[in-house]
Homo-oligomer: A and B are copies of this chain.
Amino acid sequence: MSDDKPLSDRQQRMLAFINEYVAGNGRPPTIREIGKAVDISSTSVVNYNLTKLKERGFLERDAEVSRGLKLTRRAGKVIGSVSNAVDETFARLLRVPLVGNIVAGEPIEAFEGAYDEEDVVELSANMLSASNNDELFALRVNGESMIDAMVFDGDIVVLKKQETAKNGDMVAAWVRGDDTTTLKYFYQEGQQIRLQPANPHMDPIYVDSSLVDVKGKVMMVVRHT
């Protein structure tokens, strides 16, 4: 079933072209389009090679159907395997909902509820260390008041949803009494929590741990310019 004879140059080019065409146009090419691309003048020759390719398991064909081609996984190995790389890349893509703004003087809004399908931040998983999706969400930073935390107005912070934090984590937290949302480094110190700004020139805040609601841990900060 698996000849090891190398594919002819033509056949390789055909596979490459088909792959490329599908990626570019969202549909397979016609026999004549293949012929033109691979410099074959006769449709029958294209058809002939297509049949060969099919016999050797590089593609499937739907008879008597226009553009009835489909590359198999095996074909991917011969070529750069793009159309399949699409799936892989997509699989590694995280679509993080951008659930709202984070403003110093207000609680994080719309934390659970429905958010606009539109507002997602797409990140490649290779940028985060294999975190599972779902738990992630993003917030846009609004206002100057957060800038002590290494984060600036307009930045997007990607957070992992969690109610607790380890020392040294940068967290988004709601400070009751103070009624403020902040992005700071988290340190539990006895009954107190030290919220440490990233800026070393700024002083930390000490709050009783009962007054701090951790909303999530900052995983990433993205800034456009």
List chain A positions with a Cβ less than 8 A from chain B. Answer: 22-23, 25-28, 30, 62, 66-70, 77, 84, 86-87, 89-90, 92-93, 117, 121-124, 126-129, 150, 152, 169-170, 217-225
- Interface secondary structure of A, over-half rule: mixed
Distance between A222 CB and nearest chain B CB, rounded to angstroms: 5
In the assembled complex, which residues on chain B have CB atoms less than 8 Å from the CB atom of A129? 224
Q: Of the candidates B27, B124, B220, which one forms a contact with A28 in the assembled complex, judged by CB atoms under 8 Å apart?
A: B27
CB pair A220–B222 under 8 Å, yes or no, is yes
> Among A27, A68, A89, which residue has the most Cβ atoms of chain B within 10 A?
A27
The quantity of this chain's copies bound in the complex is 2
CB pair B220–A223 under 8 Å, yes or no, is yes
In the assembled complex, which residues on chain B have CB atoms less than 8 Å from the CB atom of A25? 62, 70
Q: Tell me the nearest residue of chain B to A147, going by C-beta.
A: B150
Distance between A219 CB and nearest chain B CB, rounded to angstroms: 6
In the assembled complex, which residues on chain B have CB atoms less than 8 Å from the CB atom of A90? 86, 89-90
CB pair B26–A22 under 8 Å, yes or no, is yes
In the assembled complex, which residues on chain B have CB atoms less than 8 Å from the CB atom of A218? 225
